[in-house]
Structure formats: structure tokens, C-alpha cells
Amino acid sequence: MRRTVQIPVGIQSLFGTLDENLKLLESALRVTTQLHDDHLSIEGETAQVDRAVRILNEYNQLVREGRHMNHSDVKAMIRVATEDPKTTLRQVLEPGAPARARVFGKKTVTPKSSNQRQYMESIEKNDMVFAVGPGGTGKTYLAVAMAVSALLTKQVSRIILVRPAVEAGERLGFLPGTLQQKIDPYMRPLYDALYDMLDADKLERFLEKGIVEVAPLAFMRGRTLNDSFVILDEAQNTTSEQMKMFLTRLGFNSKAVITGDITQIDLPAGRRSGLVEALEVVGGIEGIAFVNFNERDVVRHNLVQQIIKAYEEFGGGEVRRTAPAENGRTEPVK
């Protein structure tokens, strides 16, 4: 089957650098395209051609409405729309009828895969979300973005970001300086995400007033966290006791997001990861959502996807750990 689509004004954004967006559309939907003067012809199986035409027509409509999108935004939208036939480009740009609009400070944040979209929607709909998968899939960054949105739209009154202070093979305990200076290296990724979302002056004020708090997990003991958006990052490095302590801190009108990569556990030999245990213990509790990321969700350099896949294949003979699916049953974490 062959159909044609009118080419809009924003052709550069649509095609992307070296036509990468067009190539993504072709490979994902198994169609071929050919550019003519003012239109694009698409050939392939009828159903796939119809999907490609729908996506391009949706893009044309967004351009006519005055939407300005760079080629990376378009690539993300095409990627999500081709992965999930039910998702439109508009749904990627605009949340699916949440209670409140998303506001991300100085950034515009859009999901770059269907799992990222599911993750953002799960955070909106649930008070507790577990996100498990390799680095570079946006687990921490999107959680911080949703926390900033919740704070700026007054859904919560503070953000609390915590990490277990476990060295990833290095020994930092003998560094000179105050306790805070010793802790900062562990917390730097969280600060980086915050500075990406908020102006430096505003973030400094939030930190000074305690509206935004970045602290080691050990500092959470004995606290009850009300009206807060709490993120536990690098949760694979928690002990069983630490994870139970954290999960029972949640107070009224609060959300908790727990992120981790169970292939990157830095605990001493013989200590079981609190994240791995928690996935088994709370997997059947209604109201807790679980999102499993894999190498296809990686939004770093293209080589990172291939490296993650290569390591998975290299360790293919090892025992696979599992994480609960949406229905509470366990399934392999890719």
C-alpha cells in the first residue's frame, strides 16, 4: 500500500539530524518513505502505513497550532507513538487528563519512551512507585521532575531526596571536610537534576528553608514525612532494615518514588538488597505501582543501549532477579 502526506513547515524538526527521525519511523513501523516537492510518500503494509500517516498528520496538526518542537522532541514523540499504537503525539506532549497540569520549572520535560510515559502517569496516580532498570533510563531525572511539578503546583509543600551512602567501589570515608562535605559526593546526581529544573537562586532559597532537602537515607530514621514528595534513589544499595524504615516513613498527602538498578548492587558480600526484598514483599499491595525499564528506554548515547544489552547477554547464565509486574506477579527485570 502507498499513501502520501503533506509536508509541514517544520520539516527540519520532523526529519531530524541526518533524517534520523524519519529512519526511526521507517524501522519501527517497517515502512519506506520518499520525499517529493511538498509531500512524503509512504509504502508498506496497510496497517503500518496507516499508523505512519496518522503520526505525521498529528505532527502537522501540532505545527499548525503553533507548537515549536526541536528534532529531539519529535524523535521522542515518534519513539513513544510507534512503541504504543494507542498513544498519540498530543498525549506524549500533554498528560492524560491529570488532576493538575505539570510544571517543571525552567525545563520542558516529555517522556522519551512508552515506559517513561507510564512512569510519569504512575507517579501521578499512585502514592508509591517502584522504578527498576539500568542507568540512563530517566528513573531519577523524571522522578525529580515530577517532584518539582508537585511542589510548584502546590500538591506538596516540600521535596525530600535521599540516597544510601554506599561507595561504588571507591573509599571516600577518609576525605577531609565537614559531614556535609563528605555527604555531597553521594548526593551530587540529585543536585544536578534539581539545578536542571530550577533557577539556582530559587533552589538555594528552597534548600535554605528546608522546602527541598537532600540527605542520606540514615537521616530519615524516626521521621514521619507528611505533605511531601519523597524520592529514594539508588535503592538497590539499601539493606532490608533501611528499606523497611524508609517505606514506613510515608505520611499523609505524600508520595514516594523508589528507584534502583538491581544489576548495580554495591553492598558488601552477603548482604541482600533491600530493594530486591521489597519487590517481593510489597509486590501484591494494591496502590503501589511498579515500572520496569530496559535498555530500549536508555536516553544517553546510543552506545549505552548496546553496552547494557551486551552485559545482559554476557551474564545470561546467571540467576535472574525479578520484579513485580502491574498484576503483582513477578517477571524478569531486563
SS3 of 55, please? Answer: helix
Instruction: Report which of 46, 41, 48, 39 is spatially closest to residue 1, judged by C-alpha positions.
Output: 46
- Here the cell at position 262 is 538491581
- Residue 27 pLDDT more than 60? yes
- Residue 171 pLDDT more than 70? no
Only one residue has cell 536542571, namely 196
Contact 30, 40 (CB under 8 A): no
Q: What is the mean pLDDT of the chain?
A: 80
Contacts 24+ apart (CB under 8 A), 201-209: 202/105, 206/159
Confidence label for 34 from pLDDT (cuts 50, 70 and 90): confident
Contact 197, 143 (CB under 8 A): no
Confidence label for 57 from pLDDT (cuts 50, 70 and 90): confident
Which residue did the predictor score with more confidence, 176 or 69? Answer: 69
Confidence label for 234 from pLDDT (cuts 50, 70 and 90): very high
- Residue 161 pLDDT more than 90? yes
Q: Tens of pLDDT along 187-222?
A: 778 888 899 899 999 999 999 999 999 888 888 888
- Here the cell at position 118 is 507510564
Confidence label for 123 from pLDDT (cuts 50, 70 and 90): very high
- Here the cell at position 1 is 500500500
Give the best-scoring range by mean pLDDT among 107-111, 118-122, 171-175. Answer: 118-122
- Residue 152 pLDDT more than 50? yes
Residue 95: what pLDDT? 53
Residue 229: what pLDDT? 97
Residue 38: what pLDDT? 72
Q: To which H or E segment does residue 232 belong?
A: strand 228-232
For the chain, give the number of residues: 334
- Here the cell at position 203 is 533552589
Residue 169: what pLDDT? 43
Residue 12: what pLDDT? 60
Confidence label for 98 from pLDDT (cuts 50, 70 and 90): very low
Contacts for 11 with CB less than 8 Å, ≥ 6 apart: none
Instruction: Report which of 227, 31, 49 is spatially closest to residue 127, judged by C-alpha positions.
Output: 227
Residue 270: what pLDDT? 82
Q: Tens of pLDDT along 262-289?
A: 988 888 888 899 999 999 999 889 999 9
β pairing state of 32-35 and 39-43: antiparallel
